[in-house]
Amino acid sequence: SPILKFMPAEVVAQMLERLGAEDGDILFFGADRASIVNESLGALRIKVGTDRGFVREGWAPLWVVD
């Protein structure tokens, strides 16, 4: 269910201002064990990124540890 029904309008306004959210933006929230939330939001990130063309073929992250 929408999280907004549990939050006062003032809190929502402050949150949107702090996050710099504008019309057309979407914010996702998750509440569960960290492993569940991380897996769910990670899958959503990959799905949206792939569908919107943000994931390039052959992209591979590189970690440099010095």
Q: Is residue 58 part of a domain?
A: no
Domain presence at residue 47: yes
Q: Where is 18: in which H helix or E strand? A: helix 9-19
Query: 14 is in which domain, residue-wise?
Result: 3-51
Whether residue 64 is contained in a domain is answered as no
Residue 37 in any domain: the answer is yes
Backbone angles phi, psi at 63, to 5 degrees: -105, 125
Domain membership flag for residue 26: yes
pTM given for the model: 0.64
Domain count across the chain? 1
Q: Looking at the domain assignment, is residue 14 inside a domain?
A: yes
**Rounded distance between C-alpha atoms, residue 23 and residue 58, angstroms:** 33
The token pair at 65 is 């540890």
15-62 pLDDT, tens per residue?
999 999 999 999 888 989 999 999 999 999 999 999 999 888 887 888
27 touches 19 (CB < 8 A) = yes
Q: Which residue has the tokens 């569908």?
A: 51
User: Does 38 reside within a domain?
Assistant: yes
Residue 45: what residue type? R
Residue 1 confidence class, pLDDT cut points 50, 70, 90: low
